[in-house]
Structure 1
Amino acid sequence: MAWLHTNDAVQQLSENVILYDLAQMRGKNALLSRIPEHISGVYAWYRRFELDPNAKNDPDIFVNSILDELCKDHSAPRETGLPPMYRIILKPETSFSKELILKELSADSAFRELLFMLLNNSLIFQQPLYIGRATNLYCRIRNHLREGSILRERLGAAGHNISRCRLLLIYTSLNTSSLDIDLDNTVDDNEFDHQAIQDCEFSEFGSEILIEDILSRLFLPSFTLRYG
């Protein structure tokens, strides 16, 4: 059952908006082969919930699967200085106080089915994990997916596998400048959160800069460390 999107591996939501379900695709090349090169735009990573298939028929497995998902960090930790000699670290809270109620209700197959359906349609409810922009979406997504990338490590530390997430791509313009291609091929992943200056230099009329900033401030992606 689906609401706003199907369960297909690739779904075109509009002329320039495409949703990918990486869990249903055979490796990163299957995704990259579907992303045109030299296109700029905005992208968003979303968490995908994958409960144990046996959970539908086994209340104990169902409860454990839900608790496992609840225990994963839902955002990146934040750290800042507190002058003159202290630092403050904020970490996400993952405690859950309703385990007994969950166990009781999970004995009802209709309740389990409802939660399965809701999690399958989690895009309706959830914050994006990360929102970004790129002058070359193909190169940016390829960099995110490579082993050891900063975003892969950041999500992995919280229990989220980027290769099993959903990815929304919003194409904003055709990019023909070789400078754009070189930039996205060489920039290191740890610069993705603060490259407004570089993008502005090579994307004179880049609507993706404004779109990314508006979406980030409205929907607060939980693993983006800074906006704009």
Structure 2
Amino acid sequence: MSSTELLYGGIGSPPYPNPERGRASSSSSSSSSSTFHGLKRCSNMRELKQYHSQIIRLGLSADNNASSRLIKFCALSKNGDFSYALKLFDTIPHPDAFLYNLIFKGYLLQVSPSSPLPRHHRITLLLYSHMLQHSASPPNSFTFPSLARACGLSNNVGAAKQIHAHLFKFGFGADACCSNNLIHMYVSLGKLREARRVFDAMPRRDSVSCVFLVIASMDEDRKMILQ
């Protein structure tokens, strides 16, 4: 599976079977314990590739738990290698939500003010579409912040509305962190009315929600004055 092979025709929402995590129980052998412990102290790609070789020898290359430890370093560490994370991800038979979330975050970490790379935003949404179609593990509350950011960065209003709908579909409409990310997403897209609706529907609002709306309202007032 390669993210470049995905076809984006809107974000699907197929029914889900009971999730089959695919996370094999960790081996009780001293070798696997030593390998996992060593991965926590991994500081560069040379060390990580050595641990990767050990994981293959232990027969854990298809284990989501083992793979997630490798991918987390490659995708999120400043000393990692995101291309290596993608290669690892593409070899996993049944990636779960945790693994998808790592790749979503990894794609967005490739974005910088000097190199926006809109392609990464789009691929994040493509991969989410693939997750919905092919993964037995549904999205969780940690999935949507990355997707909301991808929509805001790519200026994709259509995808933003679908992500908003899916957040409620999967039961995270009352999650404060997810709601704050929706507000920020709509503010980034210049959709203050939608941002306000999310804010008004929140069961409990926090300072982050208020700050987003205040800043957005001030910016809108400034634009009106300059017109």
Class of the TM-score when normalised by the shorter of the 2 chains:
under 0.3
Normalising by structure 2, we get a TM-score of 0.24
Higher strand residue share = 1
Higher helix residue share = 2
Normalising by structure 1, we get a TM-score of 0.24
